[in-house]
Amino acid sequence: MKSRYTSSRRAFSQRGQTFLVVVVFVAVFLLAVMGLATDYAQIWAHRQMAQGAADAACQAGSADVFLNAVDPSAQSTYGLDFSWVGSSFDCSTKPNSAPCKYASLNGYSGSNVAVSFPSTLTGVPTIPPGFGTIANPYIQVKITDPVPLTFTKIVSSSGTFNISAKASCGLNPVAVPIPLVVLHQTASGALSAAGAASIKIFGGPNRSIQVNSNSTSAVSVGTVDLSQAGPSGTGADFAVFGGPATKPGGVSLGSSGNWISPASPVGDPWVTLSTPSVPASAGSATPVPFAINGCPDPAGCVEFTGGNYTACSTGTIAPGGNGCLISPSFSSGGAVWQVSHPYAAGTLIQPTAAQHNAGGYIYQALNAGTSGSTGPNPWNQTIGGNQVDGSVTWKNMGPVSTSPSTAIFDPGLYYVGRIGGGLSPGPNTTIRMSTVNGDGNNGVTFYFSTANTVSVGSNTGKSPACTSASPGSGSPNKCVVSYKPDGSTVLGVTSRVLQCPSGPANPSQVPATIDGNILLGPCSGTYGDPNGKNRGFLFFQNRSTAANPSWGGGGQFLLSGFMYFHSGSGATCGTNTSCLTMSGGSGAGAYALGNIVVDKISMTGNSGLNMILNPAVTFQVLRPQLLR
């Protein structure tokens, strides 16, 4: 019995010891698990904090990197410091730099914060070459955080675990809607609307106007109305990098708009667009009678075709010669009639007086055919009457002026560059679009390769609207038939429609009938809309040439398309700067559909400019962004 009792005690003792070992093991295991969990929670929390701090420091730094790239003068204007941009450092050496300040606000400083400026980022596309060379396009912030651990202290003498967080930021092209953009970086009055002049913007993006100048008086305006601007038509933002700091009294922003000052400047949205090559063929100028190809002047028009105008003639030319824009004189009203000659339908001729055309009338072939071996004697001298000639039937289109004061333009690219040969309509002139196909892009682009740019002066676009029209009469008195945005026919003259074929409806702000000068940008092609819905570049100034474009004249006008006059930065207009001056006459309606990008813009006169912006049209600009 004793032996069995002793054996039982020994077995019980052994089981107790085993149980105690298990309990101790479980306790140690649980403590280890709890320690590991605590350590993991520490690591996770610190990793999140470090990453958030790296992101914040990186984005703050990228804002300065962006300003240093697009407007280094911001450093002196706002007391910013860009000296840290470009060379790698840690925050023990440059604690007052933008990334170090933001890292410090989030609990990290000193040598634990490293800043570098890589030239490329893995997985991030390089900046397109059209944006030019940017010395420091990217910034990278790396934060090292030694995390104190609980369980690690048992097995390690260090008691810490280093984690790291990295953020990469930089300049990245993004597609944005384009407002009215004024690019000059330092000018006072970069946007000016003096006296009774006013700007009113309808529709468009959330930001209607962007002024890049850092001057405290970058904006000097009497009246700017944005109350019907923006996507909903209830207002839009007016942003200026400089000032004034508070909204001028004459600026109305509507219920949805804000005055934003200072606002980060934007880059040139069209910097990546290549300039046109010189066309292989010279453009031509031909006199055409009333109602031919959309000529709205009963006295006749000069019809221009797209092409090279760098060597255009300012003197008297033969029909079809390379006359400068817009008022050449012609040696005759048309081509001389020829015997037994094949003619295409639509051909215009002007038989001479010796060929029995005493009235000097112009005739148009109604069908293709061959002229007779002897000419009609006389030619039909009744305007609108028909004349049979061999197998061709001609229609008397009336006389045509050899010094027409109204110009119509066929769709195409007009490469303008001759000294004294810009787009310069003189007094008592009118410019319109023709109705022929041209290059098929449905509008015109005027590229100004020199400082000879667009200059629309006094008393242009002021001819009265015709109430009746007879070819060659100018009835009632040097009148011009009104333009119809819907493309309908008035007094026998058909208008080219305002909007592109697949584009939106005509804006409600545009009247059903407009007088004065009308020009429309292309719907397609290199300088049109890739989708064919919106009109593209109407005016394109050579970026390397300063110019002083102006559009005024005292009459109505409607310009649909982009107006681009940018030539870098400078102190005044004419010094590395393109300054656009726009004005309208008293009681006149001036409409600009599209977008304007210019170094400086000045509104003068006593009338207003109505700008109708399209929020659907976007272009790429560089913006500072968190990239990785």
Q: Identify the residue with better confidence: 392 or 74.
A: 392
Mean pLDDT, residues 358-377 taken together: 94
Stated as kind and residue range, the H or E segment containing 611 is strand 608-613
CB 340 within 8 A of CB 372: yes
Report helix, strand and coil shares of the chain as percent, to nearest 5.
15, 35, 50
Q: Is the pLDDT of residue 21 over 60?
A: no
Nearest to 444 by CA among 296, 565, 307, 275: 307
Mean pLDDT, residues 446-457 taken together: 91
DSSP assignments along 303-327, one per residue: EE-SEEETT-BSSEE-TTB-BPSS-
Mean pLDDT, residues 150-176 taken together: 76
**Residue that has been written with the tokens 């030319």 in this structure:** 317
CB 391 within 8 A of CB 384: no
Residue 374 pLDDT: 92
Q: Is the pLDDT of residue 158 over 80?
A: no
From first CA to last CA, the distance across the chain in angstroms is 81
Q: Is the pLDDT of residue 155 over 70?
A: no
Q: Identify the residue with better confidence: 483 or 553.
A: 483
Which has the minimum average pLDDT: 86-95, 319-328, 355-364, 463-472? 463-472
Q: What whole-number percentage of the chain has pLDDT above 90?
A: 56
Label residue 60 exposed, middle or buried (CB < 10 Å: 0-12, 13-18, 19+).
buried
Residue 426 pLDDT: 84
Pairing of strands 406-409, 301-304: parallel
| Residues 566, 550: Cα–Cα separation, whole Å | 14
Q: Is the pLDDT of residue 212 over 60?
A: yes
Residue 27 pLDDT: 52
Residue 365 pLDDT: 93
Nearest to 516 by CA among 570, 574, 584: 584
Q: Identify the residue with better confidence: 614 or 601.
A: 601
Mean pLDDT, residues 261-267 taken together: 88
Which has the minimum average pLDDT: 18-32, 150-164, 274-288, 422-436? 18-32
Strand partners, 610: 200, 591
Residue 9 pLDDT: 54
Q: Is the pLDDT of residue 29 over 70?
A: no
Residue 125 pLDDT: 87
DSSP assignments along 421-463, one per residue: -SB---TT-EEEE--S-TTTTSSEEEEE-SS--BEE-TTBS-P
Instruction: Name residue 499's amino acid.
Output: Q
Say if residue 378 is preceded by a cis peptide, omega within 30 of 0: yes
Q: Is the pLDDT of residue 475 over 70?
A: no
DSSP assignments along 540-558, one per residue: EE-TTS-B--EE--BS-EE
Residue 150 pLDDT: 63
Residue 329 pLDDT: 92
Q: Is the pLDDT of residue 191 over 90?
A: yes
Q: What whole-number percentage of the chain has pLDDT above 70?
A: 87
Mean pLDDT, residues 2-16 taken together: 55
Residue 186 pLDDT: 87
Q: Is the pLDDT of residue 569 over 50?
A: no
| Residues 301, 472: Cα–Cα separation, whole Å | 11
Residue 46 — very low, low, confident or very high, per pLDDT cuts 50/70/90? confident
Q: Is the pLDDT of residue 340 over 60?
A: yes
Domain ranges of the chain: 22-176, 178-266+602-628, 271-328+406-594, 335-399
Mean pLDDT, residues 599-620 taken together: 82
Which has the minimum average pLDDT: 253-257, 359-363, 575-579? 575-579
Question: pLDDT averaged over the chain?
Answer: 86
Q: Is the pLDDT of residue 473 over 80?
A: no
Residue 4 — very low, low, confident or very high, per pLDDT cuts 50/70/90? low
Residue 6: φ, ψ to 5°:
-60, -40
Mean pLDDT, residues 425-439 taken together: 94
How many CB atoms lie under 10 A from the CB of residue 154? 12
| Residues 227, 225: Cα–Cα separation, whole Å | 6
Who contacts 58 (Cβ-Cβ below 8 Å, separation ≥6)? 99, 139, 140, 141, 167, 168, 169, 626
| Encoded tokens for 118 | 């890589």
Residue 584 pLDDT: 62
Mean pLDDT, residues 491-512 taken together: 92
Q: What strands, in cross-sheet order, belong to the sheet with 138-148? A: 89-91, 110-116, 138-148, 160-177, 618-626
Q: Is the pLDDT of residue 226 over 60?
A: yes
| Encoded tokens for 295 | 């000529």
Nearest to 403 by CA among 302, 489, 291: 302
Residue 208 — very low, low, confident or very high, per pLDDT cuts 50/70/90? very high
